[in-house]
Structures are given as structure tokens and as C-alpha cells.
Amino acid sequence: MPSVVVVGAQWGDEGKGKIVDLLASKADVVVRYQGGNNAGHTVKIDDEVFKLHLIPSGILSEGVACVIGNGVVVDPAVLIQEMDSLAARGIDVSRLVVSENAHVIMPYHKALDRLQEEAKGDEKIGTTGRGIGPCYTDKIARFGLRMADLVDPEALSDRLDLVLRYVNSLLEKVYGDKGFKKQDLIDELSPKAERLRGMVADTSLLVNEALDRGQDVLFEGAQGTLLDIDHGTYPFVTSSSATAGGASTGSGVGPTRIDKVIGIAKSYTTRVGEGPFPSEQKNEIGDWIRDRGNEYGTTTGRPRRCGWFDAVMVRYSARINGLTSLALMHLDTLAGLDRVQICVAYEIEGRRVDHFPNNLRVLRQCKPVFEEMDGWKGDLSDARSLDDLPANARRYIDRISELIGIPITMISVGGKRTETIVVEEPFS
């Protein structure tokens, strides 16, 4: 029985939620392994739309156990709000378990997020302001509070005594802002801790036991590969390991237990926030793709920057993640264009480059080398096999597969769960 990691192969927002939702119906356990509520998954089932920020997309599949792993940072208020929202729509959230080792986003993390972005001025990263980065900073600095601390009143009190000396000094002396009082934080957090206490557990043990029983386990990340703290376009990245390797560290499951890694990429490229974007189209084509693809952030509502498919970048993602296959999303969005383009290489000072550069200064200089192909027209939403697609759409898929060096085993032709071509079943 396989364990499968689903990972974004671009800058996030690739459509992981739909693929996880599609695969979750065939899985026994779905694990979210990194990120926080700074990202979101939009899932469309029939005529209902669900927007998830912390809870794994598997919650929408009946009977599937859902785990928020230790690599996730959890805002208790957001988690409770999301649970209540799903429950009000008839979704059973009793199947959700949260790692006792997951770190807690505190009110002061949100204050620091805002103040640090303001201090950067023109060099701001474009964070969501939800306290994600400062929470991960405290985790690495060993000043963090974990879910185990949150649900233990004595541990919470002791940790706050230590942490607030540091946090308040930083807020007051560096940023000239007011600090936080221990009792105010306890009063705010205690009701949330009471609500979540029964859901907190050793999730590494639970997931490994599921694998021991031969159950199918699906691991989902939040952001994409190019936002990974180590392998992304630093410093315009998130604060966690968004690559496939993060599935192990963020869940407590060893890498030898991972069987397949599926990359998710749009049929074009999008990006939210600041940073270089070689294939970006700041023109009518970019606007057309944004409108057709409804390219606005699930969590923030911010318009996404849009451009042509970047094969250099996705080839890099295939290498970094060890992708075994790719799911190509939003093929239907490009329908209607007479011509489509693929970025097949970069040009730097007149020199052709086929590999994605790690140096941000070099990446800013990259000019895209495009390959143009004939487009296709018509409604693709009824396609359920490759043979149902227009010939030019097939050629486009084949060329992308050739350029990135891995097979494309799923193609999304619409927003609904059923509007997907599955060439090869991952859980088989």
C-alpha cells in the first residue's frame, strides 16, 4: 500500500487542494505537514466551494482520518473557526487530530509580522501578516510554544514567563510598540485550549501505525517548491520546508516510507507577492489568464501575477523533490488562445541557461526563451481521457512532459473534483 506526497512544483496556488481532495477519497489518512493559515486550498465538489486554510483537504472525504502534523504552525482561533464553519456545512471534523509538537501562532507573532514588514520598506517580502514567519522564527530560536504547552495550563504559564521577557523587550525596544501581558494571553488562549485539548496527540505514532497496518496515507503541503525556505527564491519564500522532504520532517515519518511524490503545476505560472518571475506577462495575456483562471488568493484575495509555463523551474522542482509524476492543472484556462508559449530556457547576458539559478541577483537578470505552439479551443470539462482532448492540447501536454522529464499522470480540465483526467492511479 503506497504513501504518496503531493507537493507544489511552482510558487504555490497550483491546485493541490483539488488533487488532494480527489486522492483523499482513496486514502485512509491525509496529513498536512507544513505551513500555516497563510495558504489555502480551494476545493469544488459539485456546486459547493470549500476554502481550507489549516485543515487537510481530506476532511471533505467521508471516513478519512486527517492529521495536522508537527511541521505546521497553528493559529488556534483560525483552526476553531475553520472547524465550526465545516461543521455548519455538515462535515464531520471529529476525524481531525493535531500534533502535540506543532507550534502555536501567538498574538505577538502577528504584531511582529506587521512591524517587521513595515520596517523593511521597499524590501518587504509581501507576507500575509498572519504571524507565520515570526512563529517559525521562535521555533528555531527555541522560544516557541507547542500545542502540548497550549493544552497544559501549567506548561503554558511557565513558557510565557520565559518567552514574554524576550518578546516584550523586542517589541518595546526595537519597534517602539507595546508588549503583551501574561494574564491577558492566558485569558485569551484558555478557552481555545479547552476546545482543542482532546484533539492533540502524538501524530507521528498515529501515522506510522497506519502505515504499519498497510493503510494508504496521503501527505499534503501548503506552499510550492519555489517558496521553500531552503530551495525557493530566497528571501521571497515562506518559513517552512514546502518540498517533499518536509513531509518527513513535518510528520515524523521516515523518508524510506514514502513511495511516490506527485508534483502539482498549473498549465501556466502564477506568483503572489514580491520576487523575480522570469516568464511573467505584464500585459493583456497576463490579465486574460488571471481573469480566466480566477487567479486571486484563497486566503488573502490578492491578485496573482501570471505568466507562461516555466519548464526550467518545474524541471528544477522535479529534481529537488524527486517527483515521480506531475499533475497538470488549469488546462481548460488556456482554451481559447490561438497561440500558447512555454519558457524552455533562460538567457543571461546573451548566454542560454537551462538550469534554474539559486542566486536571486542572477535570477532577476534571466530573460525567458519561449517556444510557441498552436493553441486550442472549446470546453474541456467533459474530457475524461487523453483521447478526449484537442490534438493541440495533447501536443502541449506531451511537450511539457518531455521538457521536465517526468510523466504527466493527471490533468485538470475544470474546477470540480470530477473534471479530471486520471492517466495513472497513484494508489495502485
| Residues marked as catalytic | 13, 41
Report the distance separating Cα 131 and Cα 114, nearest Å: 8
Backbone angles phi, psi at 305, to 5 degrees: -75, 140
User: What are the start-end ranges of the H helices in 259-409?
Assistant: 284-293, 311-321, 360-365, 391-404
Q: What single DSSP character describes residue 149?
A: H
Report the distance separating Cα 42 and Cα 19, nearest Å: 11
The neighbouring-strand residues paired with 173 are none
> Locate cell 480540465: which residue?
413
Distance, first Cα to last Cα, the chain: 7
Report the distance separating Cα 408 and Cα 402, nearest Å: 10
Residues 6+ apart with CB under 8 A from 200: 97, 98, 99, 100, 147, 148, 150, 151
Whether 79 and 219 have beta carbons less than 8 Å apart is answered as no
How would you write 11-69 as a 3-class SS string? Answer: CCCCCHHHHHHHHHCCCCEEEECCECCCCCEEEEECCEEEEECCCCHHHHCCCCEEEEC
Neighbours of 223 (CB within 10 A): 32
Report the distance separating Cα 237 and Cα 222, nearest Å: 12
Backbone angles phi, psi at 286, to 5 degrees: -60, -40
Q: Would you call the peptide bond into 76 cis, given omega within 30 degrees of 0 as the criterion?
A: no
Report the distance separating Cα 219 and Cα 216, nearest Å: 10
Residues 6+ apart with CB under 8 A from 154: none
